[in-house]
Structures are given as structure tokens and as C-alpha cells.
Amino acid sequence: MSEQPGPGEGPTRPVSVSLHEGTIAALKERTGRRGMSAYIEALVQRQLERERLRELIEDAEAELGPADASGVEAKRALLRGEAAKPADTA
């Protein structure tokens, strides 16, 4: 029995999707006519990744409790390239 390919793997094949005309126009403007498939593929892969990450976070929070808000903000600052803020010395 063969394993199902993961997102971004395996051969490509055409599928039919319905989009609003305004969405199609914006997509064509951004990608050109020939770049639409690659653009949509990347968007779908990113959304699937976000959903998997959300599931992992929910599982971790169910097991360990919610994340510490100040710790989360400190990690966000690191990701944004911001220097750590000095602690209050009051």
C-alpha cells in the first residue's frame, strides 16, 4: 500500500475551484496568468501549515496549560528582531 504524498509533494494535476471575479482579477494582477497555480499552491500549503501549528498549540495547551503571555511576547520580539526590553527597576 503506497503512502499518500504530503503537501507540496507528488505530481501536480488540475483541479477546479470557484473564486469570485474580483479575487481572480487581483490574483492575475499579482501573479500574471501563468503564475496563478504556483501562487495558490503556496497559499494552500501555508494555510495547512498554520492549521497544523494551531493543532499542536492546542494539544500542548491541553496538556500543559496556556502559554505565559509575557514569554510569548518576548519570543515575538525576538522574531521581529527587537532587542529585549529592560526589566522595570522600580
CA nearest 23: which of 14, 31, 15, 34?
A: 31
Residue 72 inside a domain? The answer is yes
For residue 66, tell me if it sits in a domain: yes
Q: Name the pTM for this structure.
A: 0.70
The pLDDT of residue 53:
95
Domain tally, the chain: 1
Tell me if 72 sits within 8 A of 62, measured CB to CB.
Answer: no
Q: Is residue 7 part of a domain?
A: no
pLDDT score of 1? 60
11 falls within a domain: no
9 belongs to a structural domain: no
- The residue range of the domain holding 55 is 37-80
Residue 86 is assigned to a structural domain of this protein: no
Per-residue pLDDT of the chain (90 residues; tens, 9 = 90+): 668 999 989 999 999 999 999 999 999 999 987 899 999 999 999 999 999 999 999 999 999 999 899 999 999 999 999 876 655 544
pLDDT of residue 83: 72
With respect to residue 65, please indicate whether it lies within any of the assigned structural domains: yes
What's the CA gap between 64 and 60, in Å, rounded?
A: 6
Do the domain assignments include residue 18?
Answer: no
